[in-house]
Amino acid sequence: MAFATVEDVEARRGGPLSESEEVSAEFLLEAAQGLVEEAVERDEAEIVALKGSVPPVLRFLVVERVLKAMANPQGLASQSEALGAYSHTERFNSSANSELMLSSAEERLARKAVYGKLAGTGEMESPLVSEARVGS
């Protein structure tokens, strides 16, 4: 079992993949799942044991990362071209797999899907606080 399948990628993309795209998607699905598992510090079996199944958010994150990586396989950041005294410039992302990497927000979303709410305010019990509240 995996977080997402090639069929999920095709459904999100809105059409079938070619044979070579399917091979690429399978590899990228495995890589993206590994990155999500690393972000939540649990593998798929542990997540299923904890949650009962893979949370839909994780499936969504994996599919989105795969589609982004497939749309820009060379990691091109920008490209420009001029006509007068011809010039052509391409700039690539410094990270080789930057399209596949999770953003900080996506990592937080993945952790929340696995562990529930991650932030809150703790209130410590104190006789001084309790007395101050009663006296107010």
pLDDT bin (cut points 50, 70, 90) of residue 81 is confident
pTM for the structure as a whole = 0.71
Alpha-carbon span 64 to 59, nearest angstrom = 9
More confident residue, 118 or 99: 99
**Where do the structural domains in the chain lie, given as residue ranges?**
6-135
Alpha-carbon span 18 to 30, nearest angstrom = 18
**Residue type (1 letter), 95:** S
Please count the other Cβ atoms lying within 10 Å of the Cβ belonging to residue 108. 14
pLDDT at 121 over 90: no
State the average pLDDT over residues 120-131: 57
**Most confident segment among 25-39, 78-92, 106-120:** 25-39
Q: Burial, 17: exposed, middle or buried (Cβ in 10 Å; 0-12, 13-18, 19+)? A: middle
Mean pLDDT check: name the lowest of 8-12, 76-80, 81-85, 132-136. 132-136
CB 6 within 8 A of CB 15: no
